[in-house]
Structure formats: C-alpha cells, structure tokens
Amino acid sequence: MSESKAKIIALAGKGGVGKTSLAATIVRVLTEDKPGSRVLAIDADPAVGLSTALGVTVTGTLDDIRRAVVQSAEDGRPREAIEMLNESRFRIFDSMVETNGFSFLAIGRPENEGCFCSVNAYLKEVVSMLANDFDYVVIDGEAGVEQIQRRVMEKVSHLILISDQSRKGTHVAETIKEVADELVMYDRIGAVINRVTNPELNKFIEIKGVEILAFIPADEQQAANDIQGRTVFELPEDSKVLDGVREALRKIEIL
C-alpha cells in the first residue's frame, strides 16, 4: 500500500458506547477547526448510523460495487467483471457524497461467505489510494477492529478506542488493542471514556497500555439529537461532547 499523506483516524469499541456519535463529532470539529481541509468520513458499520449523524443520504456503497463485480464473475462474464474492477476508482468516487465541507463513503454490508477475496483486497487498495486525496479520513468501524484491516485499509495513523465507564467497555477496548497490535498498523493510539455519569469513578478507570485522552460527560443535548434524528451539526457550540472531542484530538496531536 502506498504511504498515505492523510491523517487516518479510526474509532473502535464495543457497541452502545456512542462511537458513531463521536466519529460524527470529530468530522464536525475537523471541518470547523481546520477550514479548507479535505475531510473524508468512512462509515464501515453496516448499520450506516454515521450517515444519519452527519445528515447524509447514502446512494451507493462500496459493497454494491463489490457485489456487482462478483456477480458478473459468477455469471460467467469475467471480461465484464475485470472492466468493473478497472472502473472501480471512478465508481467509488460516484458513491461518495459531497456535503458540508466533507466527503462521505459507506462501506455497506459485511462480506458474504464465499466472496472473492481478491476483489475485496483490490477495493481496499483503491480506498487506501483515495485516502491520499484527503487531509483527514475518519473511519467509524463496527465493534472490534479486525474489519478495519480486512475491509477498509491496513494502516491508520490514529486509533481511538471508545468506552463507557463500565468494566465491560474497557475490557473490550483492551481486547481491541491486542487485536490491533497484530492486525493493524497504527502510529498513535488513545482512548475516550464517553457518557460519563459519575466523574468520581474516573480515577478507577484504566485501559492497559492506552492513554485516556478525555472523559466526556453524558450529554443530554446529544441524546436528544440522537432520538430526534438530528445531525451533529445541530449541537450547540458549548456542547460537552464538542469540548471533549476537541480535548482528545489535541492530546493525540490531530488538532
């Protein structure tokens, strides 16, 4: 894979800790604090929750392209499949949504059993090449980190683990770090403890081998936004989540 000039920020953690909301908030902060920068948001979660948080309408996914190539090959049309692969860079650009100072790409559903690994590897390489066209790439991944390496790109510059105050959440974060150390090349790693309800418990929280970048209090405004389907851009400027994300990004030297 060619060396990317982009800062590639991947978020990982157990389900239900607000990972998608924080990924969306990072996108907002980058568009506001780094005006003129090219920002790409990648939704690697099949639920496509990042699009809702960012106010994006998804028209096509990387998986749509992959399935079309595989279907042509399985139907005995290898030449057509090869042509589709050759055009995949342009097809991926067509699948990107441009809005609000950032671009958006949805990966789509997980790969089916028996799918063509060579196709997946090729499309991952294309996504990695496209990252060179951006200054910042923010990846919202599924629970776990394996799929970042398997489905999106092999190297990220910043891996941010998300947890709540529960031991289950921090244990999952530690497990993800162990997996990432084997599967994902990253330059910096840090953690964010989200939805803090009792600040006095923060002193007992640790994630082995990982600096905690910020403790973000539970934010009623953000919770209301989520329930009402509003975007992260509708959060007030004094939002606790915005403050916490900026603190984390400063500590891990993204801002």
Tens digits of per-residue pLDDT, 2-24? 455 789 999 999 988 999 999 99
| DSSP string over 30-60 | HHHHSTT--EEEEE-STT-HHHHHHT-----
CA dihedral 27, 28, 30, 32 (to 10 degrees): 160
Assigned CATH for 7-251: 3.40.50.300
pLDDT value of position 248: 98
Across the chain, mean pLDDT equals 88
pLDDT value of position 149: 65
Tens digits of per-residue pLDDT, 124-152? 788 888 888 999 999 998 776 766 666 67
Task: Name the pLDDT band for 1 (thresholds 50, 70, 90).
Answer: very low
141 φ/ψ angles, rounded to the nearest 5 degrees: -100, 170
Tens digits of per-residue pLDDT, 189-201? 999 999 999 999 9
Domain boundaries, the chain: 7-251
Tens digits of per-residue pLDDT, 169-189? 999 999 999 988 988 889 999
Rounded Cα–Cα distance for residues 149 and 158 (Å):
13
pLDDT at 114 over 60: no
Ranges 1-5, 62-66, 83-87, 197-201, most confident? 197-201
Tens digits of per-residue pLDDT, 187-238? 999 999 999 999 999 999 999 999 999 999 999 888 888 888 889 999 999 9
Region 81-102 average pLDDT: 86
